[in-house]
A and B are shown apart, each in its own frame.
Chain A
Amino acid sequence: MSWKGWCKVTVKDLVEKFGLQAAAGEKGLGRSVKSGFCGDLLSDVMANAPEGCVWLTIQSHQNIIAVAVLREMACIVITGGHTPDIETIDKAGKEGIPLLLWPGSAYTLAGSIYSAGIT
């Protein structure tokens, strides 16, 4: 099933459709997801990530939360089976940024999300 043509896809929809694990920031699950971005270099992400995006990264340290807040992202997915630091979990909870986990590669998840209509 595709989301093409849907007016609103939420972080919760992503979690349910792709079996992502929510590690923190559950209060932000109702945020709407408008696009996506992949990146591990924080300056590149700061410069180019679109507003309301789902951000796929292998970075798991606490500084990713400030980047997500400042870029007004919908959520972060830590890919490749990396696990977030405890400080990252705390900050995500404090800022209400959903922090999701995906065991596979960013490539496969990005492809699936894109195919589902988040472009």
Chain B
Amino acid sequence: MTAFIKSFSIKKRDFVRAGEASINVQNILKSLNMDHKLIRRIAICGYEGEMNAVMHGGDGILTVEIDTGRIILDIADNGDGIENIELAMQKGYSTATEEHREMGFGAGMGLPNMKVNSDMLSVESEKGKGTHLHMEFYVSTD
């Protein structure tokens, strides 16, 4: 049974609104008095995924689902897609443009950061069609 589900749209190259979906998710989790460290991990993953969608995605959707015992983040876009997921998972590998790098993106840490900070990460992508990131965070019940 899903207790709560909410989606936020992400617009391609919209650096004005970039980060807002993740901030909204953070506020929702705070209002539910979720564990502080858990919120920080989810904030990192949400932001990295959201920025990837802004920079490389077409339009996308970030969905947060709060379930019994776990929180799920789904970030799906219909943008560039990832040619080689194994390479993209490596620290330091980046396909960011010069414009992105000037803004401090493109460190090649996005997907590695998401892997470290989530309990489960799956990446599905097809070149030219888009990317779907699925992340799960387990909530301890003690």
Contacts and interface: CB of A to CB of B under 8 A. Distances in A.
Contacts of B103: 42, 59, 61, 63
B105 A43 contact: yes
A41 B1 CA distance: 40
Main DSSP-derived SS at the A contact region:
helix
- Give the contact-size bracket for chain A: 20 to 34
Instruction: Specify the main secondary structure of chain B where it touches its partner.
Output: helix
A43 B19 contact: no
Contacts, number: 68
Interface residues on B, range: 20 to 34
Contacts of A47: 44, 109, 113, 116-117
B65 interface: no
Interface stretch (B20-28, B67-75, B78-86, B125-133): B20-28
Central interface residue in B15, B44, B103, B104, by most chain A CB within 10 Å: B104
Given A62-B15, A70-B43, 9 more contacts: A41-B104, A41-B109, A47-B44, A59-B103, A66-B23, A67-B47, A69-B19, A69-B23, A70-B26
Interface of B: 15-16, 18-20, 22-23, 26, 40, 43-44, 46-48, 51, 103-105, 107-110, 113, 116-117
